[in-house]
Structure 1
């Protein structure tokens, strides 16, 4: 027999955004069902690089990122662990004079956001970071940015929500999602039916399928970042490292392993992705140019994942353009881990209050659609989500 349950809010997607939304909603006293096709935090929220940075984000994202910065400092109280969160500082490397000019311009435009960015000349950089290679000619340091372990943090939000009474359903694939005129209805085969007054679409790279079913079609594409981790090494890298203009990013954890990212892998199918041998070789060459210490380091594991990218590299975050009660949060283009807890808090605001103090205009789904706001009714089978 089909199990039928009801809640104030149903959430599709158990990554850091869906799980943190579940936690904040439960703290508000609302009933929540969290539906995850795999295990919570097992997709991009759990396999990303682990950077917790504000530096380098578009100005439109900084209010959201600043809100997240405050939440990250409360992790032990919120989820019961620190998640290896460390404000190590984020160092963004310049490899040319043009890069330095871009970093200086960014510092000027972001002075009102309290990041305290510090420009480092080539000489100051060498004195502070003697482990850097000659490719680095300067840098911008954000001292309060940092890093965390996504494999610990993302699932912990779901566990914390469950402890507060959220109904967390893992390994539950949603086959149908629609509004029947009175409530949202989600079905998982012939085993489960969920009814809810509000629906949060937090399905990551697969969220476009859900959005399209409700008339909010967006031109989202999937990307597959390449990641690698080295054997444990003597600790030398005391910052989370990025590069102006993109490319390599790297950090070193307390046990000595260096986590390295950059480049693009490929999809095996709609669920699995892998690194490319040629891409990994290029990534490691670029890494060694910046971090010569890694020249003879052994790579002990590589992986990739699947992330959603929109043409403007900005997310969709906010109400549906067509269906009252539907709220989207997807398309974070590889930068969603740091933002995740604030996205969850914003989603909870929108459910409870219908508004939020965090500016969201740049993230409206309406930038991709001119559809009038009309409710979608009738159950229509969806693609696998």
Structure 2
């Protein structure tokens, strides 16, 4: 058995855990990341890579904008650009009701200082003539961006290691003891870690940790199906999303089209699998062709998914435990964690080092699940047909 003493133990080597470790190390904290697999292997490394600002939950904008500023400094922070590109994000609507929806999103975005272009069909034909005439209106945010999720988390973890962070992979937490203002983290490899604070950033597996301390949340595991096509002549610059959720896609400079086909699919956190049904591939490509007819004959060359944690209000849990001083939660990011990851890590570091953060995190408290919460329309649309999750699998 080996023993390690640190200031902060972070459970989960995804993007949230890596950024938290990085910012804590910059404040001279001794930090260990404990990852059951490899760093960035789940949703942090398998997501679409969108850094979307428009269309966010209103209470998330202060955090989201703070995070975007960090993304814009990515190369200065970690020494790697990770294919970060300020591509802009185009939200499409196909009828009047959807138009009203994107305009409502835009109004909230503008309240927080984001510049939004409101586009009529003539604007769309002029700027992006390859779009289908089915698109009746769109909004465009030039500040929105993309990055390569396969690159980012390992790069942040390397930068954190350069600051002295210890990263332990293939190591599963089995028990966390607390008392006297300190914690002892036990693992299946025999390593025990003594620390003053713990960050629960275990993604779809975070509930088991929270429940050790008398807290819970209706966490639901799911997998967002992702696809990539063969290279095609490059002509699509922005990241594009249909507000009905049927398709979101972008083209990388190498020519490949990356797209996601919703609704999400079932995921198994026990077997650690998130298979993509063949029918999803076909429906995703059909949806893509309806938006960009020129891509009707593109061929998919690879499909994949990861395991994400979802909550019924589609809002993550971020902040201190309600039962245990020194414990902090950061899970249930509902597919939004890539964009806000740097900001979450910075805020957690401030709460641990300074005792507070200036970024409002009250909407993300785990305490909200002490009473029933309203189920988000998107969650109902995607998951009402799914079987109830096995809570023991989380």
TM-score category by the smaller chain?
over 0.9
Contact 1:266–1:276 (CA<8 Å) still a contact in 2?
Answer: no
State TM-score, norm by structure 1.
0.94
Query: Which secondary structure does the structure 1 equivalent of 2:261 belong to?
Result: strand
**Aligned-residue CA RMSD (Å):** 1.4
Q: 2:90·2:139 contact (CA, 8 Å) conserved in 1?
A: yes
Q: Does 1:133 align with 2:132?
A: yes
Note the alpha carbon deviations across 1:14-70, whole angstroms, 9 max, x for none: 111100000000000111011111111111100100001111111111111000111
Deviation at 1:190, TM superposition (A): 5.1
After TM superposition, which residue ranges in structure 1, 4 or more long, deviate above 3 angstroms?
A: none
Query: Structure 1: which 5+ runs fail to align?
Result: 371-382
Deviation at 1:268, TM superposition (A): 5.1
Indicate the residue corresponding to 2:196 in structure 1.
197
Q: Secondary structure at the match of 2:244?
A: coil
Is the 2:181–2:325 Cα contact (8 Å) retained in structure 1?
no
* Alpha-carbon offset, residue 267 of structure 1: 2.8
Q: Does 1:350 align with 2:351?
A: yes
Q: In the alignment, what sits opposite 1:279? A: 280
Aligned residue in 2 for 1:98 = 97
- Aligned residue pairs total 372
* In structure 2, C-alpha distance between the alignment counterparts of 1:273 and 1:189, rounded to whole Å: 24
Q: Does 1:60 align with 2:59?
A: yes
Q: How does 1:14-25 map to 2 (within 5 A)?
A: 14-25=13-24
Pairwise CA distance, 1:293:
2.0
Aligned-residue offset at 1:213: 1.1
Q: Deviations over 1:336-366 (max 9, x none)?
A: 1010010100110110112111111110000
| 1:233-248 equivalence runs, <5 A | 233-248=232-247
Q: Distance in 1 between matches of 2:393 and 2:265?
A: 22
Which segment is superposed worse, 164-173 or 179-188?
179-188
Q: TM-score, normalised by structure 2?
A: 0.92
Contact conserved, 2:53 with 2:64, CA < 8 A, in 1? Answer: yes
Return the alpha-carbon distance in structure 1 between the equivalents of residues 51 and 181 of structure 2: 40
Query: 1:104-115 maps to which residues of 2 (within 5 A)?
Result: 104-115=103-114
> Gapped runs of 5+ residues in structure 2?
372-391
Cα drift, residue 320 of structure 1: 0.4
Matches within 5 A, 1:1-385: 2-189=1-188, 191-263=190-262, 264-267=264-267, 270=270, 271-369=272-370
In 1, Cα distance between equivalents of 2:108 and 2:67: 20
Cα offset, 1:243, TM superposition: 1.4
1:136 Cα offset (Å) = 1.2
Distance 1:273 1:105 in 2: 33
Alignment partners' CA distance in 1, 2:189 and 2:250: 46
Give yes or no for contact 1:184–1:195 (8 Å, CA) kept in 2.
yes
CA contact (8 A) 1:85 1:149 kept: yes
- Bigger mean CA deviation after superposition, 240-249 or 116-125: 240-249
* Pairwise CA distance, 1:135: 2.2
Q: Distance in 1 between matches of 2:219 and 2:393?
A: 16
